[in-house]
Amino acid sequence: MLAFDDASIERVHDFIQWLFPLRERSGAQPNAPVLTEADLTAIRRSPAAQATLLAAAERMAAFYARNDHWLTGSDHNHLRITRIIASLRLLVGDAQADNFRAQILTRVAANKAPVGATAMAYWGRV
């Protein structure tokens, strides 16, 4: 995924749950990993896993910085953004999750984008 171009990131829908896993089963990709406590511990302790998560977050932030189609009232990317923030918070830490969220909110504000209240509320809670 790190080598995907922006068109591939937008077109391919089954990578985000694998790249940014959570404790909860994905409704969109039910075969994606569901993290256990052992998984959480291993990922948090692994420098390679941490580096990959941060690189993936940077890649996704770059995608959102270069593309405007998601700056609308409702878009599947809003769910992706929620997952990325939640996964970063869970696996890497609050600072990295807050940094990613700040980049997204800055982009929304700079474009006076009409992102829906539901997405904005989720981003504020995760």
Q: Is 34 helix (H, G, I), strand (E, B) or coil?
A: strand
pTM score, whole prediction:
0.95
Is residue 69 within 8 A of residue 113, CB to CB? The reply is no
Q: Is residue 36 part of a domain?
A: yes
Q: Is residue 45 part of a domain?
A: yes
Other Cβ atoms less than 10 A from the Cβ of 17: the count is: 22
Tokens found for residue 123: 């981003």
Maximum Cα–Cα distance for the chain, whole Å? Answer: 42
Tokens found for residue 16: 């985000």
Is residue 69 within 8 A of residue 10, CB to CB? The reply is yes
Q: Is residue 112 part of a domain?
A: yes
- Reported as a pLDDT band with limits 50, 70 and 90, residue 75 is very high
Structural domains counted in the chain: 1
Is residue 81 within 8 A of residue 87, CB to CB? The reply is no
Q: Is residue 96 part of a domain?
A: yes
Q: Is residue 1 part of a domain?
A: no
Q: List, for residues 17-73, the tens digit of each pLDDT value.
A: 999 999 999 888 888 999 999 999 999 999 999 999 999 999 999 999 999 999 999
Q: Is residue 33 part of a domain?
A: yes
